Structure 1
C-alpha cells in the first residue's frame, strides 16, 4: 500500500505527463489589428511614408502592398541596429513587436499603385539584368528571388514592383558599398553591379507590374 507521500508523487507525475510544462505560461497570440496599425501610421509613419504608405517622396520606400513579414523584419532590424538609419531607429524604437505587426498588416492590406520607368535608354538594360542577370559576371537574375512580376516571395523576398527608382538605387548602392549590412545575399549581388547597371535595374523595377 502506497504512503500519502508516494500517492502525492504519483499524482504530480500524472499531471506533469498530461500537461506540457509550457501550457501554464502559454498565452494566446495577440491578434494582428490593421486598425491599430492605421492609427500608428498616421501618428508615426505618415510624415515620411504618407498616411497609407503610397507614392510619397522618392527617397522613401512605398510600403503599400509590401509583405508584412518583410516589414516586421526591417522594423525589428532598425530597432536592433542591424540596419543602419538614425531616423528609422528612432521611430522603430518606439514600437513594440505588436505595434510592428499591426502597422505592417495595415500597409500590406493596401493595393500598391503602379509606377513607371523614366529612362527609355536604360530600361532595356534594366530588363535584361532583372530577367536574365549577367551570366559572364555571375550576376543572378533579380526575378529568381523577387519573381518575374516583382511580387516577391512572402517572408523571404520583398515586393519590388513599382518601387521608387531613387529608393531602389540608393539601397543597391548601400548594399554594394557596405552601408546597408542586413542582407549578405544582396551585398554579394550588388557588389558586382556598376552605377549604370544599378540605375538601369532600379528604373526598370519602377515600371514593373
Structure 2
C-alpha cells in the first residue's frame, strides 16, 4: 500500500500550481488585446442608462446580489466579456445567457468600448454586510490557498488588494458574495472550457472554501 503524501509534499504541489497560474497571468497581461477603436465614456454613459442600469445600476453598482459590480472594472475585461456573449454559438466562452446574449448581440464594437470606457471611470461601491465568521477563513484561502486540497491561492492572479490583472483576471474587490459564490460554483457548467484556469481551480474548492472566499472578497476595500 502506498503511503499518503505528506503535508510538505502537498504544500509544494500547491505552490507549484500557484506559480504556474501566476506565470499564465503574466502571459495574459503581456498579450492583452487592444481594440483599434477609442472608447468614449459620455456615449457609454447614455448606453449604460438605457440598456444596463436595470441590472447593473446606472453607475455600475448593482443592488441585486446576482449581478456583478462593473464600476471600476478593467475596460479590457468588460469588452472581452461582452464580445464573448456576442460571439456565435459554439465560439462563446459562456453558455447561453437569456439576458446578456440578446443584449450583447445588438452592440457594435464601438458601443462595447464606449461602455467599457464609462464603467472604468465609475467609483466602485462597498459591500457592508458580510459573515464575519467566514472572513478570516476566506482570507487564509485567498492568500495561502488550501494545501490539503491542492488549492492555489487566489492572490496569484487577483492580486493582494483584489485588483486583478487585465484583461483576463478581473477586479474582485467588494463584489457581492452571492454573485462570487454563484460564479465559482457555475464555472464548469456555464463558463468553463479546456485550458481555462478557473475550470482547473474550482474542482479543488470545497463548498466551505467557496463561501469563505466569497465573504472575504466582499469586504475587500
What TM-score, normalized by structure 1, do the two folds share?
0.82
Q: Deviations over 1:115-150 (max 9, x none)?
A: 235112211111111011012322111011100100
Tell me, yes or no, if structure 1 residue 82 matches structure 2 residue 119: no
Q: Deviations over 1:33-92 (max 9, x none)?
A: 111100110111111111111142111011000000000111111111331212100111
Report the counterpart of residue 69 of structure 1 in structure 2.
76
Q: Distance in 1 between matches of 2:128 and 2:58?
A: 22
Tell me, yes or no, if structure 1 residue 180 matches structure 2 residue 194: no
Query: Which is further off, 112-121 or 46-55?
Result: 112-121
| Correspondence 1:19-30 to 2 at 5 A | 29-30=36-37
Contact 2:74 2:171 in 1 (8 A): yes
Report the counterpart of residue 58 of structure 1 in structure 2.
65
Tell me, yes or no, if structure 1 residue 35 matches structure 2 residue 47: no
Report the counterpart of residue 19 of structure 1 in structure 2.
none
Q: How many residues align?
A: 180
Gaps of 5+ in 2: 1-35
Whose relative contact order is higher, 1 or 2, with alpha carbons under 8 Å and at least 6 apart?
2
Gaps of 5+ in 1: 1-28
CA deviation after TM superposition for structure 1 residue 154, in Å: 2.2
Report the counterpart of residue 202 of structure 1 in structure 2.
214
Larger gyration radius, structure 1 or structure 2: 1
Q: Distance in 2 between matches of 1:208 and 1:49?
A: 20
Report runs of 4+ in structure 1 exceeding 6 Å deviation.
none
Contact 2:41 2:118 in 1 (8 A): yes
What is the Cα-based RMSD across aligned positions, in Å?
1.4
What TM-score, normalized by structure 2, do the two folds share?
0.77
